[in-house]
Amino acid sequence: MKEQLTDNNDLLSKIIEMIATSQTNYSIPKEWLSLKEGAAYAGVSYNTFVKFREIGLKVSEVEGIKRVSRTEINTFFENYSF
């Protein structure tokens, strides 16, 4: 009986550990990216990304910190698709 309780406790501990690990490894992609992250997301160099800004890619800037949304990058590419 004691051995079965120990086995059950071990199993329960492993299940709890697996749940905790899976929750910490799961991350929701952030919507707002730095310009460097935005360039990587778009699959282009930083310099090309700067050129995209010059031709209409919208970037938010608050107190010198620039961010671009994934949605804006996707919309930009959709607008320039042919």
Residues 33-60 have pLDDT tens digits of 999 999 999 999 999 999 999 999 999 9
User: Among candidates 32, 79, 25, 13, which has minimal Cα distance to 52?
Assistant: 79
- In SS3 terms, 5-50 reads as HHHHHHHHHHHHHHHHHHHHHCCCCCCEECHHHHHHHHCCCHHHHH
Length of the chain, please?
A: 82
Domain-by-domain residue ranges, the chain? 32-79
Does the global pTM surpass 0.75?
A: no
Residues 54-81 have pLDDT tens digits of 999 999 999 999 999 999 999 999 999 9
Residue 22 has pLDDT above 70, yes or no: no
